[in-house]
Structure 1
Amino acid sequence: MPRHHWLIALGACASVLMTEAPVRSQVAVPLTPKLNQEQLEEEGLKLIDDAIQLSRFQQYEWAIPRAKLATQLVPNRFEGWYILGTLLVQEEELEESIAALKRAKRLESSEGGIYSILGAAYFQSGEYELAVPELETALALGDESIEVLFDLGNAQLKLKDYNKAIATYERAVKQRDDFWPAINNIGLIYYEQGNLEAAIKKWETAINIDSTMAEPKLAVAVATYALGNQEKGLELAREALSLDGRYGDIEFLDENLWGENLLQATEMVFQTPSLQAVFEELTEKSFQPEEMEP
């Protein structure tokens, strides 16, 4: 399971603001000599609030320009840089987001949320060594959310720091025992360590939590096949791919943090004739035109 795409918690930034400005249709601010510093700051904070409100409706194309203008009006307030960096992470503008978040961190080094988002940005950039200390700092500053723990565990997994990753995932599961992505990823680690039976137990736990998830079911299928029960493994693999055909793509599995050993075993399963037929069916479905309603 990759890093989540639902960590963007803009309420932390909103709580810092003392204004509750409504969302406005215009982003331009009249920069006239009559506007003093106090007025500029007020306008800047309103723009930050506008950006937060718009982001809640996923209107990022409107939110980002407001956040950028806010950083110009109140460049010494960390909130503008924080919200801008957060929005840019969401839009995967990672280089610019990292620069904004580093600016926010210089202005307010005690805000844990900045470190958590910066860690997420580093992770998405593939800079796992840089992601880990940012996420650890977020935890130390009190941002012990399940999202931060999951990001940290994923970064540790990518660095093959398996024992620390397992401990971090277990902290996440302790917060919420039905958080199947962390349980699933512990299974990924166990498989890479050669403990296939322990991996299967973790994946089966994840399946019991949410039986509609294809990833743990496919992982169980591959491990079952590798342990010699090929018929059962192939049956489970067909079920998993019927739930979500994306998991039939090795590159997609790699993006989902599957390790080298598990990927190699998966390739062997995918090469079997019965699964090749499944892939052909999935391909045919993807090219079938949608039926027009009368």
Structure 2
Amino acid sequence: MHKRIYPLLLTACLGIVSLPTVAYSQALLPYAPNQDSKSLEDTSKVLLRQAAGLVQFQQYEQAIPRVALATQLVPKNHEAWLFLGTLLVQTQKYQKGIDALQQARAIKPQDPDVLFMLGSAYFQKGELPKAIDTIQAGLKIKPDNNSALFDLGNAYYKSNKYPDAIAQYQKAVKKDPKFWPAINNIGLVSYESGDLNSAMQNWQRAISIDPKAAEPMLAMAVALFAQGKQAEAYTAAEKAIVLDSRYANIQYLKDNLWGEKLLNDTRKLIQTPRVRDFITKAPSRG
């Protein structure tokens, strides 16, 4: 499942400021270095409100310079640095995002949201030991964060520490039995470990929670195909592709943590004439 279900804290960042009262299409306010501290703080708040409005419409690139300027105006505002780091990570500027998040951490070291976001940034940059350590530090402060537990499970999974990964996913599911992404990922780990029955049971459980979830549906199709149940596999694969055609793309699956064993078996399924023809004709969705 998604290399991270964790929502990049953008929702939390919107809570930093109220919804925009200034049109977010207006130009950046000029930075006047001689302004007093109260004026700088007020200007910073305006910029953050504008950025929050832009984020609501997923206009992250336009929001970044506003938040960056807000951090210059009030450099001790750790929430602004968190907001900036989150936006930079969202737009795949991982090192810049890490740098901004480190600024937030320096100001408020025990903020779990900063630690979780920093851990996510490390994960996406491929620095798995740092990701694990940082997310663990956040969980010591806020142990009931399901998204962070999921992230930690993903970091362990990518580090080939399968029992540790499953343990974190199970913690997340224990806190929220309907948290199907973690259930799905237990299936991913089980498949790579050679436990086909456990993988299929978890994917079926995920599907029962969300029948419109394309990922466990396609994974189940691959498992059925591996068992020689072609008719069932074709039906499930076609349903998954209709739900979200991105899952017919091997690179997309790899980006979403599918392991080599599952990817190899997926290639066999989607390269069959029936599925290949279906993919060609299927409408693009997702």
TM class, shorter-chain normalised?
0.7 to 0.9
**Greater RCO structure (CA 8 Å; 6+ sep):** 2
Contact 2:20 2:53 in 1 (8 A): no
The answer to whether the Cα contact below 8 Å between 1:29 and 1:43 also exists between their aligned partners in 2 is no
The 1:106/1:254 distance shift into structure 2, 3 A limit, reads: same
1:289 match? none
> Could you say if the C-alpha distance between residues 73 and 209 of structure 1 is closer, same or farther in structure 2, counting changes exceeding 3 Å?
same
1:31 maps to: 32
Q: In 2, are the aligned partners of 1:241 and 1:248 still within 8 Å (CA)?
A: yes
2:132/2:156 contact within 8 Å kept = yes
Equivalents in 1 of 2:278, 2:29: separation in Å? 55
Displacement after TM superposition at 1:63 (Å):
2.6
Query: Once the 2 structures are TM-superposed, how far is the Cα of residue 280 of structure 1 from its aligned partner?
Result: 3.3
Taking the TM superposition and a 5 Å limit, the aligned residue runs for 1:1-294 are 1-2=1-2, 3-4=4-5, 6-11=7-12, 14=15, 22-23=21-22, 25-29=26-30, 31=32, 33=34, 35-142=35-142, 144-282=144-282, 285=283
The 8 Å contact of residues 20 and 46 in structure 1, kept in 2 or not, is answered as: no
Is the 8 Å Cα contact of residues 10 and 87 (structure 2) preserved in structure 1? Answer: no
Aligned CA-pair RMSD: 2.5
Shift of 1:233: 2.4
Query: 1:68-96: CA deviations, max 9, x gaps?
Result: 11121122332221111112122222221
In the superposition, the TM-score normalised over structure 1's length comes to 0.85
Say which SS state the counterpart of residue 83 (structure 2) adopts. helix
CA drift at 1:57: 4.2
User: 2:158–2:257: 8 Å Cα contact kept in structure 1?
Assistant: yes
Contact 1:203 1:220 (8 Å CA) reproduced: yes
Change (3 A) 1:191 1:83: same
- In structure 2, relative to structure 1, the CA distance for the partners of 1:51 and 1:190 (3 Å cut) is same
Q: SS at 1:257's partner residue? A: coil
Runs in 1 of length 4+ with deviation above 6 angstroms? none
Measure, in 2, the Cα distance between the counterparts of 1:47 and 1:143: 33
8 Å Cα contact 2:9/2:113 also seen in 1: no
1:156 maps to amino acid: Y
Q: CA deviation at 1:232?
A: 2.5
- Quick one: structure 1 residues 29 and 193, their matched pair in 2 at CA, closer, same or farther if it must change by over 3 Å? same
Please give the alpha-carbon distance, in whole angstroms, between the structure 2 residues aligned to 1:280 and 1:39.
58
The residue type paired with residue 266 of structure 1 is T
Normalization by structure 2: what TM-score?
0.87
Asked if the contact 2:5/2:181 (under 8 Å) is kept, the reply is no
In the alignment, structure 2 segments of 5+ residues that lack a partner are: none
Which residue of structure 2 aligns with residue 290 of structure 1? none
Task: Point out the more displaced range, 208-217 or 62-71.
Answer: 62-71
Residue deviations 1:146-195, cap 9 Å, x none? 22122211111111111111111112112221111111110011111111
Counterpart Cα distance in 1 of 2:181 and 2:59: 28
**Within 2, Cα distance between the matches of 1:173 and 1:82?**
28
Counterpart Cα distance in 2 of 1:95 and 1:203: 35
Residue type of the partner of 1:204? Q
Q: Point out the more displaced range, 198-207 or 117-126.
A: 117-126
Question: What letter corresponds to residue 32 of structure 2 in structure 1?
Answer: L
Per-residue CA shift, 1:33-82, capped at 9, x if unaligned? Answer: 4x333433443344334433543343434432221111211223322211
On the 8 A contact 1:10/1:83 being kept in 2, the answer is no
Which letter maps to 2:259?
G
Gaps of 5+ in 1: 287-294
Q: Which amino acid aligns with 1:111?
A: D
Rounded Cα–Cα distance in structure 1 between residues aligned with 2:77 and 2:176 = 35
Equivalents in 1 of 2:195, 2:201: separation in Å?
10
